[in-house]
Every structure is written in structure tokens, then in C-alpha cells.
Amino acid sequence: MVSEYAWLKELTKVICFVPVYVEGVGGGNFTEVWMEDGRKYLVKKKIKTVLKNVASFLGVDIRQVYAAWAVEGRKYVRPLALGPYMTLVPVPVRRPRTRDEGATGYVVVQKVYSCSRVQKEEAPKGFQSVIQFEGGQKLFCLIKFERLAPRIQEGQNVRQQSQKLHEGLAREPLMEKPGTYMTIRVNKDTGEILVF
């Protein structure tokens, strides 16, 4: 990847991906990558492109249509498990200027310390909740706390299911004998791995 993706070597330190406008720089609809220690990297690509590139780097399908935790009929974007230790939860963080510009940021649920209602004096107008990360950084969101908290919890559930799946695959032999095939299924309710 090009140099604006240099932060990929520190992927475990990423806490969130935030869509931002940068005035005077080729359109300005870019992505900020926030790190645990407070550093922020600017990637001159839309957030969807950045996430596709991260998923590609990790060898994961970003669509996750057939993931063990996929649920049909959702009105909002589901959490994305990019591995057992990186689950991204989508949250609205800005009002787009035009239709093609995204409003959604993605937080790494493993790095979330807490979420709460916003105090009116601490946030810009229109922000209704805040996510605090382990390092003390705050991300203001355009969603009520009553809707944010269940999203974070859903992200935790997806994280647990993803970790169970990866741990189970690491323990179970995939083939009994060379040249034979096995079927692996995951019980969506319990996260239990079934091998046939």
C-alpha cells in the first residue's frame, strides 16, 4: 500500500475511522485514522475505500454477507469483524454536505471505554452522545445514547462470536484424513462451532 497507509503496520493501535472534510485539498472528503496515543493519520480517500483496503490487507470480505453473526433485514449497517481482535461499529459522526459523502464513522469496539449522553456545553451543536476510548479521546456522535448503547453492545456480541469462531477453528482439525472434507457451521444463537 502507499505511504498514506503506513499506519497499517500499527493496525492494533487504531481506535476509529472518522470521515472528515479538509478544505482546499482536492475535494476534501477524506478519512482520519485515530490511534491510541492521540496521533491522527489523514488518508485522502473516502471511508468506504479505506475500510475496503483494510479488509483486503487482512484478507477479509468487507461485505460479510455469510458471516456467522449476519442478520437479514437490518436498517443500519452491522458491525464488521475484521478479525478476532478488531470489530468495527458504525456510528453517525457528521452531517454530509452532499448525497455521496458518508456520515458514518467506525469505532473499534475493543478500544471503547464508555459511551454516554453528551453534556450540552462539551459538544458542538447537534451531537447527542459521546464515545470515550481507553486513551481518553472522545468521539461525538449524531445519535441518541439510547440508540448508541445497543450498537456498542451488538459490536461486543459480534466480537465475542468472532473470537469464539477463530478460537474454535484453531482447536479443531479441519480434516480428519487427507483428501476428505468437513463442513463447519456456527450456531448463530450460541456461537457454538459445529463440525461435520
Q: How many domains does the chain have?
A: 1
Per-residue pLDDT of the chain (196 residues; tens, 9 = 90+): 447 888 999 999 999 999 998 877 666 789 999 999 999 999 999 999 999 999 888 888 777 655 555 555 555 567 888 887 889 999 999 888 777 777 899 999 999 999 999 887 777 788 999 999 988 999 999 999 999 999 999 888 888 887 777 666 656 555 555 555 556 666 666 656 665 5
* Closest residue by Cα to residue 106 from 123, 124, 93: 93
The count of other CB atoms within 10 Å of the CB of residue 143 is 17
Per the CB < 8 A criterion, the answer to whether 42 and 22 are in contact is yes
pTM of structure: 0.79
Cell numbers for 137, please give them.
479521546
Q: Which three cell numbers stand for residue 52?
A: 475496503
Q: Residue 130 belongs to what domain range?
A: 3-195
